Structure 1
């Protein structure tokens, strides 16, 4: 039964029920109204009997009248059973009728008549109170009933009002929703349980270029095309609630758009019993997101992967690899000159050419990246060492071909390092760092070359780096010490001076000679701090080595980095002032290579030192490009002949001839000559015969600590050819 039928049935039942209750109430009230009628008749009969009985007592009534009144009492329902008040009254009346003057019968009659009247009055009063109670109860019952019924009617009325209000709201919302659907820019599609389309919003022409009539009744695959398996899988899954979807739809004009929205399961909703698909066109946002993603992970200039994307792909390649994986690190040689001379625009164009050439030789599955500036990287998966090295050589060959930009030809060279990840223990960071290290090895051995990372060589490099860091700490904490090797007058065999030589008592490596840590100091730049420490300590020791009647010099080696310092002359002056050493007793030794690297700057520094009174010595003379021209330009006081010539002066005529030439040149330039590395008395005798002047070597003493050096100073000490040290 529908809602209207139920309403009519409820109204009819209400009317019939109301009529029934009214009739029943009227009948009940009528019964209550006549509830005291019997007692009233009894009182009338009793009054008639009382009047007749009185007449009988006076003798004016007839016996028939008394009989009739007695019958009236019986008909009225007065209790006349023996022993009752009514029976007593009747018996007294009949006795008085028989003896009209009997006073006893008259008294009995009066008492019985009064008792009967009182009894009937009480019965009448009881009936009245019963009627009152029934009326009151009925009134209360009816009032409560009508109140309850009215309350129910009111509640029902209010419920109907609420339902009507809610229905109006629902209708309003439905109309509003319909208006929103009709005017929504989103595509709204209702899909039945069998995957057919039952509704398409009017926005369909704007979104996909097709009208709703073309789609309603069609299978959903007619709407989504190639995305049908994805959508059908969601429909089959039957998941409750909203599901986010992103589908590619083909418009009627053939253009593909990206739709994003929700798929809602409303099969359980009785008013819908279908799927609701809502899509909005997010093609522009999708394309923008792809552009931003591409920009975030690709180099803007070359279009290659950037460092972040390369690291991510390398990480994934290492995690899933089988076999050998190679990483190349590529750096363009002298690229800075292009930017400095022709500008960054030309440099950028050159980088684009390099990128194109890289792409031309790499495999399709290889990943090339620009890490920054002129640094590139290449990831090769599923390769071997030979193929990777061959690819690296091919890259260098292709890049080496000249590039013409704005009529200017540029020769592009690059240094390339290769590292391999052969084990699961390798990480992306490790492999990339190893390729970077190999690239720097390639730069060191010559530009435009290739090097493969070698773990053993890297361990040596790391050891050298560790040594450099430890050396800096040793300089700061006093972990170094000086040994002193004497310089001897070849004629008198007396000590004329010392050369300060640094030593390092390493806490774990033991005693280290200079050739094991000086190169590391020069590479790291710690040579400047080391040289400053040696200079200060040597000058302090020189002051302590002076003896009465004997003035010994102190020779200190100076590196190129020290000599190039603008304030080096001021530093030397400061050390001399603090230690109190006579400047004429300080000899600064400089190698030929240091002088020839920048002779102009060297000349300026040396003249400043000479003005202080310091002597200048050329160490290892003859091993470089010896030339009278630079000797004539520089304030040099001493030439130290390299040991390589002294070793063979006795047995080799050529060595002897070269040494004689150096000695003659030194004398002609009025310089003092010191022969280094003298180890035999024959060498010393030959040098003395050739008037060399001074010598230095193991023949007289090895480098010794300060206490032993002090014992070698003239002035009470024995001759050095009589005392062997070390």
Structure 2
């Protein structure tokens, strides 16, 4: 019974100490709330988005739709982090997971309003503000609950820590008492002593902590199996009689033992990193306490070490995930911004810090055409190439999607920044071999340098983005160093955007119509609607100037709606005059990637009452690189309405005969690039242009489609097209774009002699 009592006291003492230690660890872990940081960041992004929304509604020239959409995407990216937060105590967050999911769905539903939002659009602004205000309220509620839980956890941890040392002392006293009882029992009999020693050894070795006892001189007198394993020892005899400083990887242990001997008090638990003989580092929670004999004198010092390596690795992993991209393991936007601010604050006099903003060219096309796995492989391959091209000390980050950024500190001249940008464009422009595909992507890079272009992270990133936009505008695959005149170009683009809005309301946009002639009859058989902008001060503005701005800002959708309505109304007006004149309208590939093209056509037909047979929709091959399935669904819907579909600029893009097989077109238009060299003889007498056009005509007729040749400017080209069996032609030789009245007059004339004559 005495032996059982001693063993029970030993287990209760050590077990109680372990339980209190674990409880203290749990309380401390509960006070470290990563989810508070996540909810706080989400609240910050809500407030930033509301500020951006207010600035945008007020017409702030520095807040364009692209910047507003970026703030919106950043806000959405914060919400999924709340769903995956793992902590010791997450009751408030877990109780609100459904709220977070509903909040994310609510914010995603306002994306169309954000994309279509224009300054002064009160209805859409009200819907967006209502959703954001509700998000603010819910996130604030969750954040307050988390702060309340954290405060409670901190208070509990503080209260527990004050009693933990006393509890350890009591546990050590209990341990000593049990040891004393066992020693007394051993004196009463060798057999009982052997049994007690064996029991003690089993109990010590079964403990999930490292346990070592020292005499007052600091020499080991006892050590359990786990402690031996941490020190890389096989047997206890190898440790008995040695000081703790004799073991590799033990830090400050002798000082703690000496402190306990001098004060007779336990030391508070502390973390230390122990490096074993195998070189592996372990994080231990160490506590040292005194053991007093029956006479009240100090007899032993006991050190207990709890291995918390796994818990600390989990903590570091959480922090790493919060600051790094999951695919490439590169720093994310958060860590990039923090590092940039630090480097700018510590910049040496006479030294520069460069920021490079980088986009992979054609990445979306790779994702859409070959799938996301290939896109991910491309991102990883590009990351490896960029790392190899950079110096040690440079920082590469992935900001999202195919957007990367580089910080290049400690530069003596801007030429060093330009040299790195050139290296990056060169290595990223080389072909990739991924999963059996040979891909060419390339990259566009914009560079800004501190202090010349600003001394804040925001200014440098903004100006690097402007330079990146310039690089894309110049044809992609380029590296551009920011210059002050680039901001003037951006202001001009914003001016065009603002004036384009006015032009739509003031009726400055109108259509000109270029006739299409039948080679068989010589008569006008249709026309193509071409958008024009007559500015009251600047005169006629080319579509090549304002259409790209419209596509980038989202104005292309209302402009396309206007063009469709004007074209449909004119077609019906011609019919009222007794003239059947089908009108072809070009639609952007973006309309079909987002599946908006069909809706725009339906609205135009419904609002004008136009016969679908009088409307023809022209698209380029680029539509299939965005979303082949979406484009196919849209084309089938258009043809089901009775609208004809034409493939424009055939042969000049990412041509593939597969989509012609699965989705035949009504019309295939031969690009002017092939018509230009049609009448030029080759080395064998027949030029390559003629051979290509001949092949396209045969292919189209084989698929049951009509052929229209664009850009006919010479009589010789016309003669060759007639010989090849082309159906329709258009170009400056036959008719330039003209007003509707002029086209009606032209269509009512006699057939054109040049077109109506026979091949002979």
Q: Give TM-score, length-normalised by structure 2.
A: 0.43
Q: Give TM-score, length-normalised by structure 1.
A: 0.45
Q: Which has the larger radius of gyration?
A: 1
**Looking at both structures, which has the greater relative contact order when contacts are Cα pairs under 8 Å and sequence separation is at least 6?**
2
